[in-house]
Amino acid sequence: MRFFGRCGRRIRSQYVHLMERYVGIRPSFSLIYRYRWAFIAYVAVKTFFFLMFLRMYLLSSSSTSSPAAGRVFSFQGSDFNSNYLMDLTNFTYLANPPICGESTNVLAVVLVHTHPSHIDLRNTFRRQMPQEILAEIGLRRVFLIGQANKGQSLYPSVKQSEIDAENEVFRDMVQGNFEEHYRNLTYKHVMGLTWATRFCSHAAFIIKMDDDIAVDLFQVRQLLQFRYREAHNTLLGLVQTDNHPLRTNHSKWKVTQEEFSGNVYPPFLSGWCYMAPMEVVKKLAQNAHKFPYFWIDDVFVTGIMAEDLKIERQGLNHLYTIHSALLECCTLEQFSPKKYYCDVFAGPTSGDNNLYKAALDQFYYCYRKGCGRRTGTEILIRTCVVTPKETPYGRGVGEVIAL
């Protein structure tokens, strides 16, 4: 800047000197022609600085319109401004253990949404699938939580000292300084994506899941490593279509017109479990602050944001079950030792910790010993006869199976 300033002053002084020198002398076309470049250069320098000043003024004006407007996250390698999380300007990590470290042999990092009070579910997951086993197949796992100082219906409060003690033992919980609440799930979701881009950016994928969903990470690993290794600009999971905002006044899941004005959500992936290449995770994390906050996190991240950013959503619906009863049929098969892989790789446990443990046992056994695949009349959708324990969420993407 100083260099251009000195150049401008020098050109101007030379031009003035020349004009004063030839005052009273009849100007000639040769004189004007000779010094035309000095005047042009002077005008060009002045115009350049005027445009720079105008640009800075316009940027500063637009950035004051709202806390999030005009904010630019400075991603340099894996670093960014960690004080911001969407429209939160005082965000910080209360716990951030070194899960991935410097290892470059990480296929995927598993981001588990959990409530601080769900210690039994976390411990079941840890016992049945310890970090050492996950490391064998190139995976790392973290549990994502907020602060649970206040209790909610079905979710008791948890002292920070209890969370700290648990993390001191297992060192696998990433905690943000926002309140743990179902209306803050989007903060937790984006925190997890952002954390992955900063502290585990060398992983090829993320696997986002909920803590009460039984996921066969061994089969998921096979899919990512071999079928979808070269996947780009896509999200993989249970696609939900033609879902409408709930407008009833008697539900805690009510969505107002101000929160979402449309009548139908864009296609999105169920937050139960989905997979994404790290390039897509970075795109989502870098752009989350540009969107108005919406508290239904899977709709917001994999629907609203993905639609706007033109990210493909690829359905693997045939590999999911929406009924915990089908998982029971997997784990209670009559063969001993176990003979078959489960027909699906993810499904709900309906809060049944015994079913959760049995499903993870089944997944691990078939990983170690090897199992067969059901075919024809043996597949569970034809042989599993139980009463569903829960109502399916959304319409999903259906398929017709000939009986």
All structural domains of the chain with their residue ranges: 2-62
Residue 139 has pLDDT above 50, yes or no: yes
pTM value is: 0.77
Mind listing the pLDDT tens digit for each residue in 334-378?
665 678 899 999 999 988 999 999 999 999 999 999 999 988 888
Pairing of strands 268-277, 234-240: antiparallel
Check residues 296 and 38 and name the one with the higher pLDDT. 296
When comparing pLDDT for 277 and 397, which is higher?
A: 277
Segment 159-165 shows an average pLDDT of 95
250 pLDDT band (50/70/90 cuts)? confident
pLDDT tens digits for range 375-401: 888 888 788 876 655 544 444 444 433
Task: Label residue 46 by pLDDT band (50, 70, 90).
Answer: confident
Does residue 402 have a pLDDT over 50? Answer: no
Q: Which tens digit of pLDDT belongs to each residue from 88-131?
A: 999 999 999 999 987 778 999 999 999 999 999 999 999 999 99
pLDDT of residue 105: 87
Residues 91, 67 contacting (CB under 8 angstroms): no
Rounded Cα gap, residues 78 and 74, in angstroms: 10
Cα torsion 263, 268, 272, 275 to 10°: value is -170
How far apart CA 156 and CA 118 sit, in angstroms, is 10
Report strand pairing: 108-113 vs 205-210: parallel
Q: Which helix (H) or strand (E) holds 58?
A: helix 36-62
Q: What's the rounded mean pLDDT across residues 232-251? A: 93
Distance of CA 135 to the CA centre of its chain: 22
Stretch among 42-46, 78-82, 171-175, 255-259 having the lowest mean pLDDT: 78-82
